[in-house]
Structure 1
Amino acid sequence: MTSPQVIQRETPEARRRERRGWYWYDWANSAFYTTVISVFLGPYLIPIAKTAACESDFPSVPVDRCVSDFDTLVTGRLGYVDVLGADIRPAAYFGLILTVSTLVQILLLPVVGALADHTGRKRELLGGFAYFGALATMGLFFLEGDRYVLGGVLFIVANVSYGASVVVYDSFLPQISTPDERDAVSSRGWAIGYFGGFLLLALNLVLYVRHDSFGVAEGMAVRICMMSAGLWWAIFTIIPLLALRNRPVPAHETTALGSVGGSFRQLGRTISELRRYPGTLLFLVAYLIYNDGVQTVIGNSAVYASEALKLGQTTQIIAILMVQIVAFGGALLLGVLARRLGTKRVVLASLVVWIAIVVVAVFLQEGAAGQFFALAFAIAIVLGGTQALSRSLYSQVIPSGREAEYFSLLQISDKGSAFIGSLTITLAVQFTNSYRIAIVSLVVFFVAGFLMLLAVNLPKAIRQAGNEVPARL
C-alpha cells in the first residue's frame, strides 16, 4: 500500500487525473453484472440445459414442445443433465455454476491480492483479468442449442475474472486518494458504475424488445446482448489502463510464491485475533448471514421471474432498470432515517422488509407483472441502504489503523457466505424442482441475521475495538 507521505508528494491534479481514469473501470465491468448475471444468462441458459435433457431422455418428443412442457414430462430419473457424472436438474444448473464460480473466487482472491501487493504490477493484473473475463463473456455469443457445458465454463471463467479484477481495482483506491478524499472517490466510482450498467442494459432492452423489427431472432438478440457486455467491458477498460500507473513496492524478504502463502497465514491470524473482539465477531457473522440472503435474492431474481412466475425477459429487464434507479433514492432515504432513528434500528427494520419480500414472493401469481414490479420496488428501497449502513457499522467496530486488513477479511468472508446462499438455492431446486420453495428458504438467512444483529451490543463492541462511540447508533 502506498504510504500517506507518498500520496502527499503527488500533486492533487495528478491524483484527479488518475482517479478520472479509475472511475471508468466501474463503468466497464458493471455491464457484465447487470446484463449477464442479473438479466440474461440464467433465463437463457436453463432452456439450453433443458434442450440437452430433452434430446437425451425424450428423443421422441419434438424439442420445442419438450422444453415448453418440460416440468410435466420429468419423471423418475429422466429430465436431468450430466455435470461431471452428477445428475443435475436443468433449473438448478445456473445456481450450480454460480456456486462453483464463487467457490473458486474464495480460493483465488487471496492469491490475487498477494501477487498484486508483492509485484506491484497492478495495472497488468487488472488488464489481464479484465480481458480474460471480457473475452469469456463475448464467447457467450456461441451459446445455443444444447451447449450448456460451454455456457457454464464461460460463465465461471468470466465471473472469477470479474471478481479478481475488482480486487486489484479496489487496491488502487488508497494510492489515488488521501484518507480525506477516499469516501467521495469510492462513492463516485460506485455511482458511475451503476449508471454504466443501466445505460447498456437500456440499450439492450431496445434490441431485445424490438428484435423482430431488426430482423433478429429472440435467441440471437439475447446472445448479442450478452456479447455486448463483454465488448463494453473490453473497450472501456482501455481508459483506466491508460490512466493508472504502478507504484514502487518495498523490498520483500520472500518470493511472490512465499507472499501468497503469507497472505493465507495473515488471514488466519486475523481470524484468530477476532476472539479479542467478540462484538466485532458477532456483527461480522450477522452481516455475512443476512447479506448472503440479499446477494442470493438479487442473483436469482431473473431466474425466479422466468421459472416460477413465467414472466418474459422484457418484464425482467424493466424491473432491473427500475431497481437500479430506485436503489439510489432508497439508499439516501435509509441514510436520512439512520441519522434520525439510529443506524442499527434502520438496518433491523430493513431486514424485516427482506423477510416480508421472500415470503410474499412465494405467493406471486404466474404472469402477474404488476406484482413482480411491486416486489422489485420494495427490494430497491432497502437494497442499497442495507449494505451501505451495514458497512458503515462494520467500520465502527474494527481496530483503528487496521481497516484494510479487516475489510479484506470482510471481502473474503463475503464470498464464502455467498457460496452458502447459492448452494442453498441449488439444493432446494434440485430436491424440490420448485423455485418458490427455494426462494422462501432464504428467510432463514434474514431471520438469523436479524437475531444476531439484535444481540450485538454496539457501544461495547466499538469501545472494545478502541474507537469512540458516535452520538447515534
Structure 2
Amino acid sequence: MQQRNDKKVVRSWAFFDWANSAYNLVITSTIFPAYYTAITSDKDPATIDYVTFFGKKFVNSALYSYAMAFAFLVIAIISPILSSVADTRGNKKIFMKMFTYLGALACCGLFFFEIDEAKGINTLNFSVIMFVLAAIGFWGSLVFYNSYLPEIATVDKQDSVSAKGFTYGYVGSIILQIVCFVFVFKPDWFGIENPSIPARLSFLMVGIWWILFAQIPFKNLPKGSPNYQEEKKNIMTSGFKELNKVWRQLKQMKYLKRFLFAFFFYSMGVQTVMLVATIFGEKELQLPTEKLIATILILQIVAIPGAMLMSYLSTKKFGNINVLIGVVAIWIGCCIAAYYLHTELQFYALAGVIGMIMGGIQSLSRSTYSKFLPQDSPDHTSFFSFYDVTEKVALVFGLFSFGYIEELTQSMRNSVIALALFFVLGLVFLVFVKKVEPKNA
C-alpha cells in the first residue's frame, strides 16, 4: 500500500482542489450565475423572467436549479458504475482525468454563451448543456479525488489533510477570480467593447486553469489501490452491487449509518445555498453584479480560516460530531435570516457568517466519514462513491425542491425556508449519532 502522509503526495492531492475550485467559484458561485441572470432577465423587478429551453417555458432561475439537479442525478447514477471499475482495476486516476477534461472543456464551451435578440443570437440551449456537462465533470472527478484521502493520510492526519485540500481550493480559486475581475470590471484596459466578452473569457480561463493545474496531481498521485479480479463482471450492474455491499457493511456500523442520514439532509441545504446564493441576491435584493461577485469572493476568503477553525475545534476541543451539530444549528439560523433579508448590509453580514461555516462543514463531513471507514480496505472508492451518491441524491432533492417551490410561490424566500427544514432533519440525525459515537470521533 502507498506510504501515507507523504508530503509531496498530500500536497499534490491538495492541488487538485486548487485546480478545480476555480469552477466552483467562477461558474457556480459568482460570474456565471450573475451573467446568466443578467442576460435572461428584463431588468424589471416587478415582472417574472421566463426563458424557453428546447421549446418549454421556465422561470429563468428555476431552469438554473433544474439543470443543476439533472447534473447531480446523472452523477448519482453513473458514479457507482465508474467507481466499481476503478476499484476493480485499480485505475481511479484515469477516471479523475476523464471527468476533469470533460468539465474543463465544457467550461471552455461556455465562452459561446450569448443572448442578443437584436443580432439573432441565442445559444441558451447549447450553453445549458455545457453548464450541465461542466457540473458532471466537476462532481464526477470528486468521487475519485475524495477516495484518495484514506490512502494518502493516516486517521490522525485526515482532518488536517482534508482541510488542506479545501484551503488550497479557496486560495487557487480566489487567484483566478481576481484575474477574472480585471476583465469583468476593467474591460476598457484590454479594448473590449462587447459587454458579454469579459464574463465569457472568465469561463474559458476556468477551463484552461483547471486542466493546467490538474497535471500536478495527475503526475504524483498513485494510480489507485489495485484490486484486480480476473473474473468478468457486468460493468453496468457491478457498481450498484458494490454500493449494496457497502450498505450492508454500513448497516453494521451504526455510527456511519446514522451519520450518512444526517449528511443526506444537511447536504440538501449546504450545497443548494451555495449554488443559488448569487441568483438570490440578484433577484430578491436587486444587488448589482459587481457587488455580488465581490461579496462571494470575500466569502471565499473568510472560508479559509473557517475551514482551519473547524479542523482545530474538532481535533483539539470538541470532536467532529459536536462541531458539526453546532455548525448545522448556525446554518438553520442563516436560512431563517435569509427569509427576512431586505437590505444590502444584511446580505453582506449573512454572507460573512456563511463563509465561516461553509468550508468547515464540507471538510469536516468528508474527514468524519473517512476516519471511520475500514482503513485497510481496498474498496475506498466504493465507500466514497456511496458518500458521493448520498450527497448527489440530496442535491437533486434540494435543488429541485428549491426551483419547484419558487415556481409555485413566485418567491425564492419560501424556497430558503424549505432548506431550513432540511437542516433541522440533519441536526436531529446528528444528535442520534451522538448516542453511538466512537470515542475518537
Fold in common (TM above 0.5): yes
State the alpha-carbon separation in 1 of the partners of residues 228 and 369 from structure 2.
33
Give yes or no for the alignment of 1:377 onto 2:347.
no
Alpha-carbon contact 2:85-2:239 (below 8 Å) kept? no
Alpha-carbon contact 2:76-2:388 (below 8 Å) kept? no
Q: 1:157 aligns with which of 126, 129, 133?
A: 133
Residue type matched to 2:218 in 1?
A: L
Alpha-carbon contact 1:323-1:376 (below 8 Å) kept? yes
Counterpart position of 1:266: 242
Residue type matched to 1:110 in 2?
A: P
Structure 1 residue 250 displacement after superposition: 4.6
State the alpha-carbon separation in 1 of the partners of residues 138 and 85 from structure 2.
17
Counterpart position of 2:395: 418
- Shift in CA distance, 278/186, structure 1 to aligned 2, threshold 3 Å: closer
Structure 1 residue 29 displacement after superposition: 1.0
- Shift in CA distance, 265/35, structure 1 to aligned 2, threshold 3 Å: same
Alpha-carbon contact 1:22-1:244 (below 8 Å) kept? yes
Residue type matched to 1:142 in 2?
A: F
Counterpart position of 1:37: 28
- Shift in CA distance, 254/187, structure 1 to aligned 2, threshold 3 Å: farther
Residue type matched to 1:375 in 2?
A: L
Structure 1 residue 297 displacement after superposition: 0.6
State the alpha-carbon separation in 2 of the partners of residues 370 and 248 from structure 1.
50
- Shift in CA distance, 344/238, structure 1 to aligned 2, threshold 3 Å: closer
Structure 2, unaligned runs of 5 or more = 116-121
Residue type matched to 1:149 in 2?
A: N
Give yes or no for the alignment of 1:233 onto 2:210.
yes
Counterpart position of 2:119: none
Counterpart position of 2:99: 129
**Count of residues in correspondence between the two structures:** 431
Give the structure-2-normalised TM-score.
Answer: 0.86
Structure 1 residue 352 displacement after superposition: 2.5
Residue type matched to 2:287 in 1?
A: L
Match of 2:223, SS state, is coil
Structure 1 residue 342 displacement after superposition: 5.4
Alpha-carbon contact 1:46-1:93 (below 8 Å) kept? no
State the alpha-carbon separation in 1 of the partners of residues 308 and 157 from structure 2.
20
Cα RMSD (Å):
3.0
Counterpart position of 1:143: 113
Q: For 1:265-324, what per-residue CA distance to the aligned partner results, in whole angstroms no more than 9, with x for missing partners?
A: 121133245444445433321222012211111111111111111112221222222222
Q: For 1:41-94, what per-residue CA distance to the aligned partner results, in whole angstroms no more than 9, with x for missing partners?
A: 2222234445xxxxxxxxxxxxxxxx123753x5xxxx6444455432122111
Structure 1 residue 397 displacement after superposition: 6.0
Q: How does 1:33-432 map to 2 (within 5 A)?
A: 33-50=24-41, 67-69=42-44, 71-72=46-47, 80-83=50-53, 86-145=56-115, 146-173=122-149, 185-216=161-192, 217-244=194-221, 246=223, 249-255=226-232, 258-338=234-314, 339-341=316-318, 343-365=320-342, 368-394=343-369, 404=380, 405-432=382-409
Matched residues, percent identical? Answer: 30
Residue type matched to 2:289 in 1?
A: Q
Alpha-carbon contact 1:45-1:148 (below 8 Å) kept? no
Q: Which shifted more, 141-150 or 265-274?
A: 265-274
Alpha-carbon contact 2:14-2:164 (below 8 Å) kept? yes
- Shift in CA distance, 353/457, structure 1 to aligned 2, threshold 3 Å: closer
State the alpha-carbon separation in 2 of the partners of residues 18 and 84 from structure 1.
46
Relative contact order higher in (CA < 8 Å, ≥ 6 apart): 2
Counterpart position of 2:118: none
- Shift in CA distance, 18/275, structure 1 to aligned 2, threshold 3 Å: closer
- Shift in CA distance, 372/22, structure 1 to aligned 2, threshold 3 Å: same
Match of 1:87, SS state, is strand
State the alpha-carbon separation in 2 of the partners of residues 120 and 406 from structure 1.
14
Counterpart position of 1:465: none
Match of 2:341, SS state, is coil
Q: How does 1:453-472 map to 2 (within 5 A)?
A: 453-454=430-431, 456=432, 458-462=434-438, 469-470=439-440
Match of 2:230, SS state, is coil
Alpha-carbon contact 2:147-2:384 (below 8 Å) kept? no
- Shift in CA distance, 42/266, structure 1 to aligned 2, threshold 3 Å: same
Match of 1:115, SS state, is helix
State the alpha-carbon separation in 1 of the partners of residues 245 and 69 from structure 2.
27
State the alpha-carbon separation in 1 of the partners of residues 15 and 44 from structure 2.
45
Counterpart position of 2:426: 449
Give the structure-1-normalised TM-score.
Answer: 0.81
Q: For 1:130-166, what per-residue CA distance to the aligned partner results, in whole angstroms no more than 9, with x for missing partners?
A: 2222111011111001322112100111111122223
Residue type matched to 1:197 in 2?
A: S
Structure 1, unaligned runs of 5 or more = 51-66, 463-468
Match of 2:57, SS state, is strand
Larger radius of gyration: 1
